[in-house]
Structure 1
Amino acid sequence: MFTTMEQCTDFIFKLKAVDHKRAPLVMMREVLAYLDNPQNQLKVIHLAGSNGKGSTVNALREMLEGASYKVGAFTSPHLECVNERITINGVQIPDAQFLQYMNAVAHIVETHYNGDYPSFFEVITLIMFQYFAAAHVDFALIETGLGGRLDATNVITPLVSIITTISLEHTAFLGDTYAKIAFEKAGIIKEDVPVIVGVKNEDALAVIRKVAEERHAECRILGEDFKVTTQQQYERMQHFDYENQEVQMQDIVLKMAGLHQVANASLAMTAMLVLQEKGHVKISDTTIRKALQTAQWAGRFEQVANNIVLDGAHNSEGTAALIQTLKDVYPNRNYNFIYAALSDKDHANSIALMDEVANSMAFTQISLPNAMPAEQLAALSQHPQKVYNSDWQQVIDAEIQRKEEADILIITGSLYFIAEARKALLEVVG
């Protein structure tokens, strides 16, 4: 039995999927059956995608809460503590409930599986399903962890599915082409369940359309079935227009910066409108507008004091979106980048994109076993003004000291790095 969060998290953080060779999802379904299938009690919006899941979830949560619903949200990764991944109306799961539901899982694993635990993400997913069901949430917004088809969350039948974007990431697990990765993400599409799609790559879209057709799932695609237009970016907000076949909304104010965030907002809007069409929710245009005006997501183009931007751009698609947002929000400025990342990504493309626009590049690393060494990251950069240092705190301090008043300092890469940097910066700037 786990009696403290420290004891519990020390244990679950060591659980890795590669240590368990069971058939995918078999143990998830078995353990859930022992728990009386809490996942079947939930009304779910299920999200997959390479980028944008967290921002889309946050917009959905703001909309549903604004319409007076009780909303569970399951997101990853966390920035400071694991409880962040499981929230109800924005409030993290209390330690007592986390331990209660973890111990329920532990009892089953010790009794029926000789203590052979599933992965960290599977354990967290099992805790989440129990917590949301016991709390009788009106809706559960559930992100996949990796892929979709074989993801631990893919044991539910949602009211609507959302696929945000497709990038070439986690290729060792998901495949090395857009089509292969799209097939894995499209695994969340269920029979007769509408799917909202923000994917642009044509190879990926072709796969998603095919899966949706085979499963008789109505497929609504950004740029075809619904559109965003006349986007105007300001320093602390942006405006856009939205339309689909039945609805037009002009001059929507969005707090989050970047055209990619307009796309994420439009996915959330379309999901809400589909749920309303199907009779699952009642929500007004005013509530939707108010939600988007206030929704924000830590570590996603988060602007902190003195022209410092935190952004968890962890793949080349995210980096391209970050750079475009910088140009829109802070045109004609010097961009000084600090970058740290894990070793499971294609860093060369991301670094090349930053090299093109950077005034300077600084590389560092975080103390995780799979962190990419700062020296190896720096070797991928062709920038004439590049430095590297394995101590990320020293790098940040040095870059803050040398930046000019009008320069923009961008701290980017792995969200685990963003979490560490964010905590340190907020302690200083408040």
Structure 2
Amino acid sequence: MSDHESPDPEKSGYIGPLDDTDPDEFVAAGDAVYTALLSRLGEAAPQPRLSATRRVVELLGDPQRAYPVIHITGTNGKTSTSRITESILRAYGLRTGLFTSPHLERLNERIVIDGEPISNEALAANWADIEPFLQIVDGELETAGEPRITFFEALSVLAFASFADAPVDVAVIEVGMGGEWDSTNVADGQVAVITPISLDHTSRLGNTVEEIARTKSGIIKPVSHVVSALQPEGALSELQRAAELTESTLAVQGEQFRLTSSAVGVGGQVVSIKGLAGTYSDLFLPLYGAHQAQNAAVAVAAVESFLGGGTHELASDVVNEGFATVTSPGRLQLVGIEPTVLVDAAHNPGGAEVLAVAITEYFTFDKVVAVLGVLADKDVEGIVRALEPVVTEFVVTDAPSDRAVDADSLAAIVVGIVGRDRVTVEPEFERAMEVARDSADEAERGAVLVTGSITLVGEAITLAAAEKWKP
């Protein structure tokens, strides 16, 4: 997936207990943290600055320096690469922290400690620890005529403090947007990982892959290890330049390491990878899509770089365990059967393209009904054109965000690309899902695919669980 979608706070994420019988007495306290974050400038408007976050962590005693960091940026594949990297490290017996964005159902998903979302109790306790310092810096910023600490700046500080409190042996930190001025960049990553770069968030990051790569290369710190996925030539040149300036080592997919094979398997795929220091053969990866196999190769190189500077082979049985236990919610995730319901958080053309390829390679559907909702700052035409070859019909709906393209306007764009006979408009999401599932049920091997918006995917996961579409 791309730099996080920055969903509307008021409608992005589930607040409250996961179900009516949730016994967690700290649910309300966890909800209060999210409510407090929502009072701040939202993720749709990140501030291009590091000084504010740096000031808060300095007051806190620099919790981000309490553990080593693997820092991950890119346009697509950041979250999955982060999750695979963390899973391998945890299989090695390390206590891990994982910070990703956005969440699909609940804020706790973004701060993961040793493989589990942070508890509501710990979330609330760590928030209580940092909030006075946020307020101090808020006052300083307001005096200087600058915006207060933002949602994502505060959340980054909360993650760093939570990992120090846990404590963790290593933190895998996913960039929110860009890199150079992203609030996570107050941490100094021993390993910087760059997943595939393409055009996204052009109004903030630049109109060319070179400009975007320049911003993302800002996470590369002096004398660090840099691991890069396959990149467009212009982007790679910027990464090479940044590595030279910082006297860092650069390992590039296809040169220093590579995916050597992948084959479709039941529930995922079997992959073989030539890493920086070792070869890892016939590993089961319970994720669909060739792009996930590529992400896995990058993750292996990242862990090799972290544990042995890229010179020591990893234990194959540990890598196998790390792969076997990895999950990537919202990425070609099965949430329903009879009919099959898949969700995928693709919300830019690059993500939609790899999704379309994966649908073709890993499934044998004779009908695919896409439930589509997209936010207004996204390339709607690019997304639809990428999906059109594999989608039989589109059910267009409103994504749960005030920034969503309304269903009628979105439908007009889709109709212009695929034709009127392949498009149905159902603004109300639950009704859209009902129509799509009924249509898919008409085919022998029909499926519903929910995509186009992370907020929509989160809504689908919640609905599927509530209605028990999958045993």
Where 1:343 maps in the other structure, the secondary structure is coil
Where 1:113 maps in the other structure, the secondary structure is helix
One-letter amino acid matched to 1:402: S
Partner residue in 2 for 1:416: 455
Where 2:378 maps in the other structure, the secondary structure is coil
Alignment check: 8 A CA contact 1:363 1:389 kept: yes
Partner residue in 1 for 2:256: 225
Q: How does 1:307-346 map to 2 (within 5 A)?
A: 307-331=340-364, 333-346=366-379
Partner Cα distance (2:381, 2:45) in 1: 31
Deviations 1:328-373 (A, max 9, x none): 0114622221111211211111111222332111111133221121
The answer to whether structure 1 residue 399 and structure 2 residue 436 are counterparts is yes
State the shift of 1:263 in Å. Answer: 0.8
Structure 1 stretch displaced more, 272-281 or 142-151: 272-281
Partner residue in 1 for 2:54: 29
Structure 1 stretch displaced more, 245-254 or 269-278: 245-254
Alignment check: 8 A CA contact 2:259 2:271 kept: yes
The structure-2 alpha-carbon separation of the partners of 1:407 and 1:75, relative to structure 1 and needing over 3 Å to count, comes to same
Deviations 1:128-184 (A, max 9, x none): 111111222001011010110100000111121111111211111111111111111
Alignment check: 8 A CA contact 1:335 1:410 kept: yes
One-letter amino acid matched to 2:456: F
The structure-2 alpha-carbon separation of the partners of 1:378 and 1:340, relative to structure 1 and needing over 3 Å to count, comes to same
State the shift of 1:20 in Å. Answer: 8.9
Partner Cα distance (2:253, 2:48) in 1: 35
Partner residue in 2 for 1:259: 290
One-letter amino acid matched to 1:79: L
State the shift of 1:21 in Å. Answer: 9.9
Identity rate of aligned residues, in percent?
27
One-letter amino acid matched to 2:245: E
Structure 1 stretch displaced more, 289-298 or 184-193: 289-298
The structure-2 alpha-carbon separation of the partners of 1:276 and 1:282, relative to structure 1 and needing over 3 Å to count, comes to farther
The answer to whether structure 1 residue 72 and structure 2 residue 97 are counterparts is yes
Deviations 1:110-144 (A, max 9, x none): 34532853111111111111111122200101101
| Residue of 132, 147, 165 corresponding to 1:107 | 132
The structure-2 alpha-carbon separation of the partners of 1:297 and 1:353, relative to structure 1 and needing over 3 Å to count, comes to same
One-letter amino acid matched to 2:462: K
Alignment check: 8 A CA contact 1:67 1:282 kept: no
The structure-2 alpha-carbon separation of the partners of 1:18 and 1:39, relative to structure 1 and needing over 3 Å to count, comes to closer
Q: How does 1:35-46 map to 2 (within 5 A)?
A: 35-46=60-71
The structure-2 alpha-carbon separation of the partners of 1:325 and 1:233, relative to structure 1 and needing over 3 Å to count, comes to same
The structure-2 alpha-carbon separation of the partners of 1:282 and 1:119, relative to structure 1 and needing over 3 Å to count, comes to farther
| Residue of 172, 189, 192 corresponding to 1:158 | 189
Q: How does 1:369-408 map to 2 (within 5 A)?
A: 369-381=402-414, 382-384=417-419, 385-403=422-440, 404-408=443-447
State the shift of 1:375 in Å. Answer: 1.7
Structure 1 stretch displaced more, 200-209 or 244-253: 244-253
Partner residue in 2 for 1:427: 466
Q: How does 1:79-98 map to 2 (within 5 A)?
A: 79-98=104-123
Partner Cα distance (1:289, 1:21) in 2: 38
Partner Cα distance (1:19, 1:239) in 2: 38
Partner Cα distance (2:231, 2:138) in 1: 43
Partner residue in 1 for 2:304: 273
| Residue of 134, 155, 162 corresponding to 1:131 | 162
**Structure 2, unpaired ranges of 5+:** 1-27, 143-147
State the shift of 1:409 in Å. Answer: 1.5
Where 2:184 maps in the other structure, the secondary structure is coil
One-letter amino acid matched to 2:226: V
One-letter amino acid matched to 2:108: N
Partner Cα distance (2:199, 2:46) in 1: 25
One-letter amino acid matched to 2:135: E
The answer to whether structure 1 residue 368 and structure 2 residue 401 are counterparts is yes
Partner Cα distance (1:39, 1:281) in 2: 27
The structure-2 alpha-carbon separation of the partners of 1:342 and 1:154, relative to structure 1 and needing over 3 Å to count, comes to same
Partner Cα distance (1:248, 1:259) in 2: 19
Structure 1 stretch displaced more, 402-411 or 318-327: 402-411
Partner Cα distance (1:343, 1:96) in 2: 36
Alignment check: 8 A CA contact 1:17 1:118 kept: no
Q: Give aligned pairs, total.
A: 428
One-letter amino acid matched to 2:105: E
The structure-2 alpha-carbon separation of the partners of 1:132 and 1:179, relative to structure 1 and needing over 3 Å to count, comes to same
Where 1:61 maps in the other structure, the secondary structure is helix
Partner residue in 2 for 1:355: 388
One-letter amino acid matched to 1:220: A
| TM-score (norm: length of structure 1) | 0.94
Partner Cα distance (1:338, 1:95) in 2: 32
Where 2:186 maps in the other structure, the secondary structure is coil
Alignment check: 8 A CA contact 2:437 2:447 kept: no
Alignment check: 8 A CA contact 1:228 1:241 kept: yes
**Structure 1, unpaired ranges of 5+:** none
Partner Cα distance (1:22, 1:90) in 2: 30
Partner Cα distance (1:222, 1:377) in 2: 37
The structure-2 alpha-carbon separation of the partners of 1:360 and 1:35, relative to structure 1 and needing over 3 Å to count, comes to same
Alignment check: 8 A CA contact 2:52 2:137 kept: no
The structure-2 alpha-carbon separation of the partners of 1:368 and 1:320, relative to structure 1 and needing over 3 Å to count, comes to same
The answer to whether structure 1 residue 287 and structure 2 residue 287 are counterparts is no
| Residue of 230, 237, 240 corresponding to 1:206 | 237
Alignment check: 8 A CA contact 2:229 2:298 kept: yes
Partner Cα distance (1:242, 1:14) in 2: 46
